Amino acid sequence: MAMRAFIISDDFAETNYLNALFAKLSMQVQSAKNPRAIAETMMTYKPDIVLVSDRSKSFKGIEAAVDLKRKNSKTKIVLIKSNQSSIEGEAKDLDGFLDSPVGIAKLVELVSELLNINLEELSSKLKVNIERAKKAPLDIAGDSQMVSGGNAAQYDKQFVRGGNAKQAKVDVSGNVNVANGKVDVAGDVGSQSNTQSVQGGATPQPGSFNVNASIEKGEKKSRYARLLEDMEPIDTTQTFDREKIREVNNALREADDPESRKDVDEEKRAFVKSLFSK
């Protein structure tokens, strides 16, 4: 049975990005942005690992993570830190911490450690799913409830916007290697020397999450491109002049059943007649 991940964040770009990553690890994933939905999801979904974002604006991520750990001691609770996060008190007892934006390699290593999954096995799943997505970007696989298209996201080289973030590019090319207990992933987040780059040479600004797969948009572009290829060339010599429109209107009138309008026409005439008879 696939491991289950639960993402708690009200940042749409961050949520989509993490959904895509977990799906590429062949894990089931759900997400919530409203704290009121957390308790019910924890009971019914029973996740193995929960990622709580401290970048969320509608609730305090650290407090939510600590509260979840108190009530679900066996579940692995991970905090995604913001630049303003202060880890103290009970927050130190959380199972793990990730910097924002979340790096692919760091996430894979942490999931492997907390869920006791072989690192090479997990990295292999990531590589296979990346290659599958590259070869068949519209092939639906995985079990993500938030991400359109599951882990078949058209994830490579997508330009995206996340809130007020600058445009960023992520290229996950499938070069996944494991050495000395570490994962090397092309396109790892947070490393501009890798295949991620921010246009203009600028680094991501605090409070902005600039890495998102833009999955649905990518799929729509692919479908539109295929549609254009399948379409017959448009005959630009055809025009709709006044005579052509008149012919169409006459044809429509002839096709219409006069009997179906009989009652309506009689009512109209009776109404007009009554106006002049008063």
Domain boundaries along the sequence of the chain: 4-227, 242-277
Predicted local distance difference test score (pLDDT) of residue 227: 60
b/e 130-169 (16+ beta carbons within 10 angstroms → b): bebbeeebeeebbebebbbbbbbbbbbebebebeebeebb
Between 274 and 171, whose confidence is greater? 274
- Per the model's pLDDT, the better-predicted residue between 171 and 66 turns out to be 66
pLDDT band at 76 (very low <50, low <70, confident <90, very high): very high
Range with lowest mean pLDDT among 1-10, 61-70, 245-254: 245-254
Q: Give the tens place of pLDDT for each residue, 267-277.
A: 777 777 777 76
- Assigned architecture for domain 4-227: 3-Layer(aba) Sandwich (3.40)
pTM of the model: 0.52
User: Can you give the pLDDT at residue 31?
Assistant: 92
pLDDT above 50: residue 165: no
DSSP class of 29:
E
> Mean per-residue pLDDT for 98-115?
91
**Average pLDDT score over residue span 107-126:** 90
What's the confidence (pLDDT) of residue 216? 60
